[in-house]
Amino acid sequence: MRFKLAAPVPEPSRPKGIGLTALFLCAFALIAFTGAVFQSSGGALAGLLNAQHLPALFFLTFLLVLEMFIIRSYWKGEDWARVVVLIASFLLAVDAISTIAEHDGSLVVAMSHPVLFFRFALVVFLLYWLNTSPLRAWFKQSPPTAADLIGSHLAGKLCTAIGGPATEPTQAWRLAFEHDAELILNCPWRIAMDDNLAFATNSDLPVDPRQLLQNLRVKAVRVTPRTSDLFVTFEMGIELQTWSTDPQPQQWKFSDPTLTVIADSVGLNSHIIAAAND
C-alpha cells in the first residue's frame, strides 16, 4: 500500500493513560524502595545509619534512580523504555501468579495485600495496553498511515443513511455517518453476517443494505496492504467488505470535516484538511 499526504500530519500527542501509568509506576517503585530499605536495616530507623547497612542503602538508592530514569523515558515515549516496562511487568505478573498458585489458586491471598493486588492489576493491564497498535506506533514515533487515519476517524461512528443505484441516479453507493462523515463506494462490495453472504453488489440477493447497516455503529476498520481493500466491522458482527478492480481510478473515498482518504487501484491518497480553529 502506498499513499501520498497532501498536507503534513500533526505529530501524535501523548496517548491518554501514559502519564497516569507512569505515576503509578513511580508510586510502586517508591513503595518497593521503602520496604527494601527497612527490611535491610532490620526495621529500625537507627539501623539505616549503621555502617554495615550503607552499601545496601546505596545500592537500593541506585536502583531507585535507575527505575525513575526508565519511567521518565517511558513517559517521554522512548520505545526501549516501553520494552523494559513490558519485561518488568511480565516478571512481576509471573511472580504474582506463582504466589497465587502456591495457595491453590486463591485470589484471597493477592487481595489481602492491596499494594500487591493493585500492582498485579497494573502489570497485567500494561502487558496488554502497551502492545496495542496505537501505543506501539506512538512509542516508535512512526507517523500514522492513511489506514490508521481512516480507522481512527471512522471507528465508533453511527451509520445514518445509505444511498445507491436504487435510490440515486449515480452508480456510486454512499454511506453517511454521524458528524458529517461519508463513505463513497465505486468498487464492488458486499456485506457478510455470521460468515454468510447477506448482500453483494451485482447479485440477485433481494436484500436492502439499509436494513443491515443503517443505525449500526462501526466497531473496527481495516485496510489491506497494496490492494487497499476496505473492511468495516459493525455491531452484531456485520462486516462491509470491498475489493479493488483495476479499471476504476477511485475505488472508495472516505471524508469528514478534517480528513479525506481516497483509495485507487494502486494505493491510498489522504488529505488532511486544516481545521478552522485549533
Residue 256 near residue 271 (C-beta atoms within 8 A): no
C-alpha R_g of the chain = 26
| Grid coordinates given for 136 | 506501539
CA-to-CA dists, residue 133 to 137, 142, 170, 176, 237, angstroms: 6, 11, 38, 27, 21
Instruction: Transcribe 197-249 into DSSP letters.
Output: EEEETTS-----HHHHHTT-BEEEEEE-TTT--EEEEEGGGEEEEE---TT-S
Distance CA 72, CA 82 (A): 11
- What pLDDT does residue 40 have? 73
pTM above 0.85, yes or no: no
User: Residue 38: which residues within 8 A CB-CB, separation 6 or more?
Assistant: none
Distance CA 218, CA 227 (A): 22
| Sequence letter at residue 277 | N
Distance CA 70, CA 147 (A): 32
Residue 192: which of 229, 236, 155 has the closest Cα? 236
| Sequence letter at residue 157 | K
Distance CA 190, CA 241 (A): 5
Per-residue pLDDT of the chain (278 residues; tens, 9 = 90+): 344 444 445 555 788 899 999 999 999 999 988 888 877 766 555 555 566 667 778 888 899 999 999 999 999 999 999 999 999 999 998 888 887 777 655 656 556 677 788 888 899 999 999 998 888 888 987 777 778 888 888 999 999 999 877 555 556 899 999 999 999 998 889 999 988 898 988 777 778 888 899 999 999 999 987 788 999 999 999 999 998 776 666 889 999 988 888 887 655 554 444 443 33
- What pLDDT does residue 103 have? 61
Q: How many CB atoms lie within 10 A of CB 52?
A: 9
Q: Residue length, the chain? A: 278
Residue 161 near residue 213 (C-beta atoms within 8 A): no
- What pLDDT does residue 157 have? 95
- What pLDDT does residue 228 have? 84
CA-to-CA dists, residue 260 to 35, 143, 175, 202, 252, angstroms: 55, 17, 15, 27, 11
Residue 178 near residue 157 (C-beta atoms within 8 A): yes
- What pLDDT does residue 104 have? 59
Residue 272 near residue 6 (C-beta atoms within 8 A): yes
- What pLDDT does residue 267 have? 55
Give the dihedral of Cα atoms 208, 211, 213, 216; nearest 10 deg.
170
| Grid coordinates given for 21 | 501509568
- What pLDDT does residue 8 have? 46
Residue 196 near residue 249 (C-beta atoms within 8 A): no
- What pLDDT does residue 49 have? 57
